[in-house]
Amino acid sequence: MTADESKTDELLKKLDFESKDELEKRIKKLKIKLGMITKESLQTEDRFNLINVPDDQLSAEDQKKKRYQIMQKQAAITRKLKKEMESKKKDELKKLKEENIEEYIADLYEKRKKIINEIEEIKKLKTSQPG
């Protein structure tokens, strides 16, 4: 251990940090709280660190991890898009409810009727099957 490393360790102990990693985690949390970075961008950066590394620089195990990270990132993007679409649909329903309550209520009745019909069909299938 060099003199600089021992000074760093002493300073960390004075500040009640066990290691440099703990200090870095705390700095990231504070940056998120201050709005300097978003939590999502930080997670993306940490979770998908192998995606931008060329395959020839990775071991066989790291290449497997990279493929897995690519799939995870695609799934995350898909979930994000789905969430945005659901939010948009929810906003449209809210707007419809505020602007045209009669149409909104008619839509609710129609959905209710479809559900009741589906339940009745299921009951018919259950009663018609022997056993």
| C-alpha 33: how far from chain center | 19
Q: What is the pLDDT of residue 96?
A: 85
Q: What is the pLDDT of residue 97?
A: 86
- Which pTM does this prediction carry? 0.50
pLDDT at residue 1 is higher than 80? no
**Average pLDDT of the segment spanning 106-127:** 94
User: Long-range CB contacts (< 8 A, 24+ apart) of 29-36?
Assistant: none
Q: Pull the structure tokens for residue 75.
A: 């799934």
User: pLDDT higher for 101 or 24?
Assistant: 101
Cβ neighbours of residue 26 under 8 Å, at least 6 residues apart?
Answer: 17
117 vs 125: CA distance, rounded Å: 12
Please name the residue that has the structure tokens 């705390």.
26
Q: Residue 78's pLDDT band (boundaries 50, 70, 90)?
A: very high
Q: Are 53 and 66 spatial neighbours (Cβ–Cβ below 8 Å)?
A: yes
